[in-house]
Amino acid sequence: DGGITQSPKYLFRKEGQNVTLSCEQNLNHDAMYWYRQDPGQGLRLIYYSQIVNDFQKGDIAEGYSVSREKKESFPLTVTSAQKNPTAFYLCATRDRGNQPQHFGDGTRLSIL
């Protein structure tokens, strides 16, 4: 079954804690993206990666980190430096050329 798997669906973070959101894809897409959605706002780009071992900051990268060691995986770490982490996080992939993005089901992160 092809697609994008994000886990967990819900995540709670304690003060000062780093947490990692998982994004796995079996679509063989080169590009992967992480977005954050806050109420009443559009999707804001955190980080993206066009190829393995390479990634670029998006508009709101501060307080986040990523890695792209495998084509299939693009985990996002929300660090303690991110002071307002409560949001809905979406992972997406895109094939080459002018193709639309494919999205996972998202992870909702809350502060304990």
Write out the residues near other proteins by the rule CB under 8 A. Answer: 4, 33, 35, 40-45, 48, 56, 58, 90, 98-106
7 Cβ contact partners less than 8 Å away, ≥ 6 residues apart: 21, 22, 107
Nearer to other proteins, 69 or 105 (CB): 105
* Rounded (10°) CA dihedral 8, 91, 25, 105: 60
Task: Please report how close the Cβ of residue 67 comes to other proteins at its closest, in angstroms.
Answer: 19
Nearer to other proteins, 77 or 95 (CB): 95
Nearer to other proteins, 33 or 64 (CB): 33
